[in-house]
């Protein structure tokens, strides 16, 4: 009897809490980025709620393209193509410009493109302004799709085989300064600090991040991917 009264009270409190939460959402007392009822907004700083929303639309290219459209970013859906076993492009988009930085037109899985956009807009740009005194207008890279095994493995296919990865080799600031992983990672100056902070930010968005610290194969780029394995190296 006593136990059922307690569970009744818990139920009532939970119901009242939920009601208060949704009333607060309706009255817009809670910022849109914490509102689970609103679709993903790529212009909001990434956090726990955006991670849930990214997860909910993972593999859903129309929802991904719609999220880009809400952020006024044009991405183009690409046709589905398969290559030899283990390789192919499905659910990819062509991306030219992120919030400010140009990437020169690269095709990748839309889920990877959204995380790259969040990385560039909310992490790379503020870090570049802080460490380098100017935003980034170009991200140089080694691309996304490549039908091959992982570096150092003769059999395990790379996430690049399905355009589920992206390799960043450097940055150009709005005032024309070139920052490269190969040249600037080993130095101790502001560019090196910028690059290490970018790695930390990338690790909060991508399942796997490999930097020059990982091995010699990555001495000249950041590898980021959305495969099954997690790591920040
Ligand atoms: Zn890579």
pLDDT tens-place string over residues 88-118: 999 999 999 999 999 999 999 999 999 999 9
Inside any domain, residue 30: no
Provide the pLDDT for residue 1. 55
The Å distance, Cα 223 to ligand 1 centre, comes to: 4
The Å distance, Cα 76 to ligand 1 centre, comes to: 22
Inside any domain, residue 5: no
Inside any domain, residue 69: yes
* 51 three-class SS: helix
The Å distance, Cα 164 to ligand 1 centre, comes to: 9
Inside any domain, residue 1: no
CA atoms within 13 A on the CB side of 89: 20
The Å distance, Cα 206 to ligand 1 centre, comes to: 12
Tell me the average pLDDT of the chain: 93
Does the structure show a pLDDT above 60 at 79?
yes
Provide the pLDDT for residue 226. 97
Q: Could you give the percent of the chain with pLDDT greater than 90?
A: 79
The Å distance, Cα 224 to ligand 1 centre, comes to: 6
Taken in order 183, 95, 105, 158, the sign of the CA dihedral is positive
The Å distance, Cα 161 to ligand 1 centre, comes to: 10
What separation, in Å, do the N-terminal and C-terminal C-alpha atoms of the chain show?
A: 56
Inside any domain, residue 87: yes
pTM of the model: 0.89
Q: How many domains does the chain have?
A: 1
The Å distance, Cα 106 to ligand 1 centre, comes to: 14
Inside any domain, residue 155: yes
The Å distance, Cα 33 to ligand 1 centre, comes to: 31
- Give CA–CA dist 128/191, Å, rounded: 9
Range of the domain at 123: 37-232
The Å distance, Cα 107 to ligand 1 centre, comes to: 14
Pairing mode, if any, of strands 231-232 and 208-210? parallel
- pLDDT tens string 190-233: 999 999 999 999 999 999 999 999 999 999 999 999 999 999 99
Inside any domain, residue 11: no
Provide the pLDDT for residue 36. 82
The Å distance, Cα 162 to ligand 1 centre, comes to: 12
Inside any domain, residue 6: no
Question: Other CB atoms closer than 10 Å to residue 120's CB: what's the count?
Answer: 23
Cα–chain center distance at 129: 20
The Å distance, Cα 17 to ligand 1 centre, comes to: 46
Residue 186's φ and ψ, nearest 5 degrees, are: -75, -10
The Å distance, Cα 143 to ligand 1 centre, comes to: 8
Instruction: Work out the pLDDT band at 85, boundaries 50, 70, 90.
Output: confident
């Amino acid at each position: 009897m006593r136990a059922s009264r307690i569970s009744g009270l818990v139920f009532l409190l939970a119901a009242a809490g939920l009601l208060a939460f949704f009333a607060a959402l309706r009255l817009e007392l809670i910022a849109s980025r914490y509102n689970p009822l609103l679709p993903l907004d790529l212009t909001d700083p990434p956090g726990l709620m955006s991670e849930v929303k990214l997860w909910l639309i993972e593999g859903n290219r129309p929802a991904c393209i719609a999220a880009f459209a809400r952020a006024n970013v044009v991405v183009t859906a690409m046709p589905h193509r398969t290559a030899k076993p283990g390789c192919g492009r499905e659910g990819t988009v062509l991306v030219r410009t992120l919030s400010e930085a140009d990437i020169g037109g690269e095709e990748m899985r839309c889920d990877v493109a959204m995380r790259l956009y969040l990385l560039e807009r909310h992490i790379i740009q503020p870090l570049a302004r802080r460490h380098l005194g100017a935003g980034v207008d170009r991200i140089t890279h080694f691309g996304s799709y490549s039908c091959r095994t992982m570096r150092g493995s003769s059999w395990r296919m790379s996430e690049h085989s399905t355009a589920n990865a992206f390799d960043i080799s450097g940055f150009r600031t709005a005032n024309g300064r070139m920052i490269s992983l190969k040249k600037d990672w080993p130095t101790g100056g502001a560019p090196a600090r910028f690059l290490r902070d970018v790695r930390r930010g990338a690790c909060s968005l991508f399942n796997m991040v490999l930097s020059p610290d990982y091995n010699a194969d990555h001495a000249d780029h950041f590898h980021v991917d959305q495969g099954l394995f997690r790591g920040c190296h």
